[in-house]
Amino acid sequence: MKKNIIFTLGIILFSISIGFSQAKKPTLMVIPSDVWCNQNGYMTTYDNQGSITNVPDYKRAFQENAEVLQVISQINGLMSERGFPLKNMESAIKTLESNAAEDNMRTSKNSGSEVNESPIDALKKVAKADIIIQLTWTVNKTGPKKSISFNLQGLDAYTDKQVATAVGTGEPSFSAETSVLLSEAVLAHMDNFTETLQTHFDDMFENGREIIVRIQTWDDWDGDLETEYGDEGEELGYIIENWLDDNTVKGRYNTTDMTENMALFEQVRMPLFNDKGRAIDARRFVKELSDYLKSPPFSIPNKLVIKGLGRATLILGGK
């Protein structure tokens, strides 16, 4: 009798945990586009091994341009009202700087050692989000009349796909100031932007999160993706594809590239929840492939590297 009650309670709690599971929420951040930075003189140059490269100087844009702050603030406010507060790029840059300063000064009380940081860790210290909202506007002038061309693009940071958009040119005005026209442009376009973003999320809930999976190999590994396993002698590349067939939503993925050393799978639709009903991201999803390849008959040691919610790389042949 007691066992039955415990079993029933267990079932109820399990059902509740599944019912209340929430998918991993993507982070969004508005950034001024390269075009806007270039047109407004917020670029900086550096010597990239002999080639002069222009990159946007976001910090200077935020410090010197009040209009960009106004537009980003307005977009952030409207998105917050929809229950989707955005990361603020200006604050993210400041936090990165202060964290870097703290990390440089930090030493262990016991041994005096410094905080570990590999070159890859240093490269990853940039302001990032899962969906980048790229913002561009230009002020058009025809005689005394002014109008604003406004473009908002929601870009998936991992698949590079445009997942949301709102673009258009406002009504020309003789007297309105640029800040007023910008405010009107944001109000006019945000509904369309959130609607296309909603369509993207609806698709994600129906067909799974779209991610990128890369397979690479260490150069000291004695195997490759053409190594044959099992009685049927199937190549490792096909074995990985079979695993993706079985574990993606409706078996949806594309093999974009496959050589003996690397494979690239795009448009991989991973489920949002695992068998236990827990929300998962690309890391958790590819961890299952990692465990599968570590186990017999393959016994391939491997290293899992991630980039946010939507990109994972498995490097075969060691840690």
Partner 1 sequence: MKLKFKYYFLLVCLISFGFNANAQWKKNKANEDTKIWRYDIECQGIAKKGAKLVKVWSYSKNPKHAIAQAMKNAVHGIIFKGYAGGGQGCTTLNALVTDYDVAEEHEAFFDAFFEDGGEYLKYVTAATDGSIAPGDRLKISKREYKIGVIVSVQTDQLRKRLEKEGVVRALNSGF
Which residues of this chain interact with partner 1, rule CB under 8 A? 22-26, 78, 81-84, 166, 168, 170-171, 184-185, 187-189, 191-192, 194-195, 197-198, 201-202, 205
| Separation of alpha carbons 139 and 185, rounded Å | 11
**Is the Cβ of residue 159 or residue 165 nearer to partner 1 in the bound state?**
165
**Is the Cβ of residue 201 or residue 221 nearer to partner 1 in the bound state?**
201
For the bound state, the minimum distance from the C-beta of residue 131 to partner 1, rounded and expressed in Å, comes to 12
For the bound state, the minimum distance from the C-beta of residue 81 to partner 1, rounded and expressed in Å, comes to 7
What is the sign of the dihedral through the CA atoms of 137, 140, 145 and 147?
Answer: negative
**Is the Cβ of residue 84 or residue 292 nearer to partner 1 in the bound state?**
84
**Is the Cβ of residue 25 or residue 124 nearer to partner 1 in the bound state?**
25
Helices 282-294, 236-247: crossing angle, 10 deg rounding? 130
**Is the Cβ of residue 151 or residue 290 nearer to partner 1 in the bound state?**
151
- Whether residue 55 contacts residue 46, with contact meaning beta carbons closer than 8 Å, is answered with yes
* DSSP letters for 237-304: HHHHHHHHHHHSGGG--EEEEE-SS-EEEEEEEE-SB-TTS-B--HHHHHHHHHHHHHSTTT---EEE
Residues in contact with 88: Cβ distance below 8 Å, sequence separation at least 6, in sequence order? 29, 72, 76
For the bound state, the minimum distance from the C-beta of residue 23 to partner 1, rounded and expressed in Å, comes to 5
For the bound state, the minimum distance from the C-beta of residue 194 to partner 1, rounded and expressed in Å, comes to 6
Tokens of 291: 């465990």
For the bound state, the minimum distance from the C-beta of residue 225 to partner 1, rounded and expressed in Å, comes to 36
